[in-house]
Structure 1
Amino acid sequence: MKSVILIGFMGSGKSTVGSRLAKRLGYKFIDTDCAIEDVTGLTVERIFSKYGVKRFRGEEALLVTKLAGKDNLVISTGGGLVLSEENVRLLTTNGVFVSLRATADTIMKRVRNKRTRPLLAKGNLRETVTSLLEQRKEAYGIAELTIDVDQLTPEQIVDIIYKYLKEREYI
């Protein structure tokens, strides 16, 4: 069956929802940031600081190439993975995109104590989050299903995704 690709901004709940959804579906769960850290032996923060965003995006692209076309995966993507049209094209071959959308306020509450996230490490947090959300709105718009997550629990989100997949006979 198709893989489920969770997209959305950092702090939107992709990893939490993804691991729970994978368990419910009996699929393998892959968090792309964690997979990149495993392969490189470096944290995402270290990759960004030592080698820059270009190297990190290159690692993402390599991972996507390995995952494209595979069945029975729930993939939690890094927030910027879908900025690459090639990543999207490859994952579309056997995947359904689900976007988890959160407001800037929700994201700030969730990430404010996690300033190790490279794109949020400097400057005014609200301005950075608001600007990045606006820049990425179109990229996240590729999803078949978009869920506003601010008022939902992870289990409610899993239920919505599961119902959607069932109705479309993806599972």
Structure 2
Amino acid sequence: MSVSPKGKVILIGFMGTGKSSVSRLLAEKLEWSCADSDEEVERAAGRSISDIFAEDGEQAFRDMESRELRKLLEQPSHAVIATGGGAVLREENRSAMLKHGFVAALSCDPERIIARVLLDKSRPLLKGAVRERVYGLLETRKGAYDFAHLTVDTTELSVEDVVDRIVMAWKQHSTFP
């Protein structure tokens, strides 16, 4: 039996909001596969996102990100997909996400985000003053995640609580069993 292409739960949100952790547990709970668009970009490019940014620039990365996200969304199997924080910056990506699945945005208090990402050297957009970069990027992306079917503030929630909220909302929204 073929699976509807809308059999996806897509996680969006700023870096450090918990997309990777939530995606793994959510996929386990739904017994679906789990994919991360950033990991797919690195696999396809054969190098890290930091290297892509340094060598080719953000535009080249965004082009690769859109291509890999589209591939993930168009696969016929059910999947939980964690996107990179900036995947929502392109209208084509937002439209594709809405076309292919249930979109859940994860949000978080800026200070908690800073605490979560402070020592992560693999995030090219955080080169320099982390606090200022996080607040600046959050301001620039204000409203960028508003197209989601659901928004969950992860600041004070466990990964399990976030997953439970997403599953409940997805079941109410979805026509899938």
> TM above 0.5, one fold?
yes
Please name the residue that 2:45 is paired with.
Answer: 40
Per the alignment, in what secondary structure is the counterpart of residue 144 of structure 2? helix
Structure 1 pair 14–3 and aligned structure 2 pair: CA distance change class (3 A): same
Q: Which whole-Å CA distance do the structure 2 matches of 1:94 and 1:119 have between them?
A: 28
Does the CA contact (< 8 Å) of 1:8 and 1:99 recur in 2?
yes
- 2:61 alignment counterpart: 56
Aligned to 2:14: 9
- Establish whether residue 148 from structure 1 lines up as the match of residue 163 from structure 2: no
Whether 2:173 is the aligned partner of 1:168: answer yes
Task: Tell me the amino acid that sits aligned with residue 151 of structure 1.
Answer: E
Matched with 2:25 is: 20
The percentage of counterpart residues that share the same residue type is 39
Task: Show the counterpart of 2:124.
Answer: 118
Aligned alpha-carbon RMSD (Å): 1.3
What is the alpha-carbon distance in structure 2 between the residues aligned to residue 8 and residue 61 of structure 1? 16
- Look up the equivalent residue of 2:151 and give its one-letter code: T
Contact 1:2–1:94 (8 Å) recurs in 2? yes
| Residues 69 and 95 in structure 1, CA contact (< 8 A), matched pair in contact too | no
1:114-153 C-alpha deviation (Å, 9 max, x unpaired): 133100012x211110111111121111111000110001
Select which of 90, 96, 102 maps to 1:84: 90
Q: How many residues align?
A: 170
Rounded Cα–Cα distance in structure 2 between residues aligned with 1:3 and 1:158: 14
Q: Is the 8 A contact 2:8 2:73 kept in 1?
A: no
2:34 and 2:80 in contact (8 A); partners too: yes
Unaligned runs of at least 5 residues, structure 2: 1-5
Counterpart of 1:16, as a letter, is: S
SS at match of 1:39: helix
When residues 92 and 69 of structure 1 are mapped into structure 2, their CA distance, relative to the original with a 3 A threshold, is farther
Q: Give me the TM-score of the superposition, normalised by structure 1.
A: 0.94
Query: Which residue is equivalent to 1:104?
Result: 110
Query: What are structure 1's unaligned runs of at least 5 residues?
Result: none
Q: Conserved in 2, the CA contact under 8 Å of 1:12 and 1:101?
A: yes
Give the alignment's TM-score, normalised by structure 2: 0.91
8 Å Cα contact 1:36-1:59 kept in structure 2: yes
Provide the secondary structure at the position in 2 that maps to 1:139. coil
Where in structure 1 do 4 or more consecutive aligned residues deviate above 4 Å?
none
In 2, the alpha carbon distance for the partners of 1:38 and 1:160 equals 31
